[in-house]
Structure 1
């Protein structure tokens, strides 16, 4: 499912059928199969270059205030305790 606006996992189901198409953002390393990701570069249609999109966003929204959002939770032994 997709994440709902309230942050819960109650959004609509995602269509993973072979006929479905998706719009995703990824860098060329991942699209080329880096770190074991599936190779998608041969099926990709480049719309915008990620570094240029990020630059434009920062310019339009400066100053930005990056912060730890607490979305990744480590549950195994030896995990550091990180709180926002």
Structure 2
């Protein structure tokens, strides 16, 4: 059974989802700027490490609250 988690969705061109396929996590990041990027992780810690670097406090363009909501969504996967 596949469980799909929505991390964020701004519109139909800007979103990030995580699909759980057993022990494998498939992350799809869709943006109007870069198209679709797909990352496959074999563990939650590996995915969280990616999320911490992708949404670093220094490099995040949104508010601290927006970043916190994204990180909270990742932790709930």
Please give the range of the TM-score, normalised by the shorter of the 2 chains.
under 0.3
Structure with bigger gyration radius: 1
TM-score (norm 2): 0.25
* TM-score (norm: length of structure 1): 0.24
Instruction: Name the structure, 1 or 2, with higher relative contact order (CA <8 Å, separation 6+).
Output: 2
